[in-house]
């Protein structure tokens, strides 16, 4: 997969309605499912999302936050109750026939004919999509399945089936690739190959929307991220900016006499705690000031490292899902502080999300009863 960028060939340009149109633009998206005994589940509660073209964009949220429902709505697999969605400037689902050939997607668990070989499955898909047969062997090579292409899919491991699913999305040489948990079942080498593939695609101008729970991978591969919770947008931005917003200002300090150094820093008014042989100093505006304070007492620093936030800690903080010792967390709770009340079931629009401007209210469409469309995001 690492050499994917050099093997993808030329793509037909998606017929964008504007040269500056985002790859994905969603405003005020709302979807409610009916459950048994008349109960209603709000999967999307006025969700806003913008994905700029030519980037790898992470789409993150706890289980039940509405990620898969959003993807299914974009692809016309479920009808939203309210809101607007655009792909490359074209409103969907109305314009899906015009843009769908430029979109590849892996959603939930892709299904293949188990008794057919991987190559035969892809050839059937290529024939249906009007793709030349030689493209099948090209994508099999890209995802590392060329040597197993003759094997029946039923003999494939979970990771191999994921590779086959990604190969299927690449048949049309898409301008937008939507991947829902693409690393599921992959070994470390496979995860790295998928990461390299996504970066190569983005470098070649393809937009990648990545929904994943492997946050360390998202942090490495994504240019930007959006975090959602309870069907609402929480925060969007470049990965570096999202991480910077969650930085604590703590600094890790290594010094020969840690106990004496802690006393000196405490006397100087800095909060200090021990971490083994290290000191963790909080609320530091300028780390160099620590070296000055300690040097006056002939204490010389051998390590001075600002502690940056990682995507996992920012995610847990923003979504209110940080584990509580002694308590088993439940899907969909608790609700993140500062996000307001839980989703409405009265049909009224939600309050504006944090770090986002709420989209204009839309005319409600006819609501439908989707008993089998429960969100698995």
Q: Read off the pLDDT of residues 263-292 as tens digits, 9 standing for 90 and up.
A: 999 999 989 999 888 999 987 878 888 999
Answer CATH for 4-244 from 3.40.30.10, 3.40.50.2000, 3.40.50.300, 3.50.50.60: 3.40.50.300
Report whether pLDDT(348) > 60. no
Does the pLDDT at position 345 exceed 70? Answer: no
For the segment 240-254, the average pLDDT, to the nearest whole number, is: 81
Would you say 262 and 278 are in contact if contact means Cβ atoms under 8 Å apart? Answer: no
pLDDT tens, residue by residue, 308-319: 777 877 888 888
In this predicted structure, the answer to whether residue 44 has a pLDDT above a threshold of 80 is yes
What is the pLDDT, as a whole number, of residue 213?
84
Using one digit for the tens of pLDDT, what is the confidence trace for 110-131?
A: 789 999 999 999 999 999 989 9
Note the pLDDT of residue 187: 85
CA pair distance 345, 180, nearest whole angstrom: 27
pLDDT of residue 138: 94
Of the pLDDT bands very low, low, confident and very high (cuts 50, 70, 90), residue 365 is very low
- Which burial class, exposed, middle or buried, applies to 225 when counting CB atoms under 10 A from its CB (0-12, 13-18, 19+)? buried
Q: Give the domain ranges of the chain.
A: 4-244, 249-306
Q: Higher pLDDT residue, 86 or 353?
A: 86
Share of the chain above pLDDT 90, in %: 47
Could you please state the CATH topology (level 3) that the domain comprising 249-306 is classified under. Alpha-Beta Plaits (3.30.70)
Q: In whole numbers, what is the pLDDT of the chain averaged over residues? A: 81
- Rounded Cα distance between 69 and 64, Å, is 9
* Residue 255: strand pairing partners: 301
* Stretch among 96-105, 194-203, 226-235, 333-342 having the lowest mean pLDDT: 333-342
Region 46-51: what's the mean pLDDT?
95
Please give the average per-residue pLDDT across 351-356, as a whole number: 42
pLDDT score of 135: 95
- The torsion defined by the Cα of 112, 117, 123 and 124, in degrees rounded to 10, comes to -40
The H or E element that residue 304 is part of is strand 301-306
pTM: 0.73
């Amino acid at each position: 997969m690492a050499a994917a960028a050099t093997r993808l060939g030329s793509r037909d340009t998606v017929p964008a309605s504007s040269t500056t149109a985002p790859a994905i633009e969603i405003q005020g998206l709302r979807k409610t499912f009916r459950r048994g005994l008349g109960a209603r589940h709000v999967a999307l509660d006025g969700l806003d999302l913008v994905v700029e073209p030519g980037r790898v964009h992470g789409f993150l949220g706890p289980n039940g936050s509405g990620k898969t429902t959003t993807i299914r709505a974009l692809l016309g697999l479920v009808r939203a109750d309210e809101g607007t969605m655009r792909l490359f400037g074209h409103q969907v689902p109305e314009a899906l026939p015009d843009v769908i050939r430029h979109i590849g997607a892996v959603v939930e668990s892709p299904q293949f004919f188990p008794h057919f070989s991987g190559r035969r499955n892809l050839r059937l898909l290529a024939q249906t999509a009007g793709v030349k047969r030689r493209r099948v062997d090209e994508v099999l090579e890209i995802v590392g399945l060329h040597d197993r292409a003759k094997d029946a899919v039923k003999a494939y491991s979970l990771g191999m089936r994921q590779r086959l699913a990604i190969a299927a999305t690449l048949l049309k040489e898409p301008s937008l690739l939507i991947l829902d948990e693409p690393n599921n079942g992959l070994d470390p080498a496979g995860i790295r190959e998928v990461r390299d593939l996504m970066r190569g695609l983005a470098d070649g101008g393809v937009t990648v929307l990545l929904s994943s729970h492997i946050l360390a991978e998202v942090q490495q591969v994504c240019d930007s991220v959006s975090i959602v919770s309870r069907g609402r947008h929480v925060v969007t931005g470049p990965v570096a900016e999202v991480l910077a917003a969650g930085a604590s200002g703590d600094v890790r300090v290594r010094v020969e006499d840690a106990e004496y150094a802690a006393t000196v820093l405490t006397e100087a008014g800095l909060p200090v705690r021990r971490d083994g042989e290290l000191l963790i100093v909080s609320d530091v505006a300028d780390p160099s000031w620590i070296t000055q304070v300690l040097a006056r007492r002939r204490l010389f620093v051998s390590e001075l490292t600002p502690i940056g936030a990682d995507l996992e800690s920012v995610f847990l903080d923003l979504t209110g899902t940080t584990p509580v010792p002694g308590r088993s967390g439940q899907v969909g709770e608790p609700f993140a502080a500062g996000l307001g009340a839980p989703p409405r079931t009265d049909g009224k629009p939600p309050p504006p999300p944090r770090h986002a401007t709420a989209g204009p209210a839309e005319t409600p469409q006819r609501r439908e009863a989707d008993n089998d469309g429960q969100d698995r995001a």
